[in-house]
Homo-oligomer: A and B are copies of this chain.
Amino acid sequence: MVHRPGTSLHLLADLAATRHLADPQAIAAVLTAAAQAARAQLVGLHVHPFGEGQGVTGVAMLAESHISIHTWPETGQAAVDLFVCGEDADAEAGLAVLVEAFGATVTWRQRVARLREASVQPL
């Protein structure tokens, strides 16, 4: 894994979205594009549709961690998270791809530094 503790960012966002929320093929393509934009290496892509016209759960497994999405077409919502490690990864660029692709606005977001313990060097 190319993870480096101390460089881990977990970006969480809730979206109000206007398209693709019930479309597993589109969601797979968007996750792939988001991983690329985040400069992350895709090691697995899994999309689970809950039925015709219903929500979708999708996960892009990355060498740098993961991107996940859960959608609720009935309320026009999606919850995403982008967990990346390494100075080169760009979670914000990945989120921008998701926002654009879903015709979305971000209703809430939070940047969370993960694995902070490892970034503390003993004196």
Q: Which among A26-34, A47-55, A86-94, A96-104 touches the partner chain?
A: A47-55
Q: Which has the most chain B C-beta neighbours within 10 Å: A59, A62, A116?
A: A59
Contact A16 B77 (CB under 8 A): no
For the complex of A and B, the 8 pairs showing the least CB-CB separation, nearest first, are A1-B55, A1-B50, A59-B59, A107-B117, A79-B114, A43-B48, A65-B70, A57-B61
If over half of A's interface residues share one DSSP class (helix, strand or loop), that class is named, otherwise mixed; here it is strand
Residue of A57, A79, A117 with highest tally of chain B CB at under 10 A: A57
Interface positions of A (Cβ within 8 A of B): 1, 3, 5, 8, 10, 12, 14, 16, 43-44, 46, 48, 50, 54-55, 57, 59, 61-63, 65-66, 68, 70, 72, 75, 77, 79, 81, 83, 107-108, 110, 112, 114-118
Do A72 and B117 have beta carbons less than 8 Å apart? no
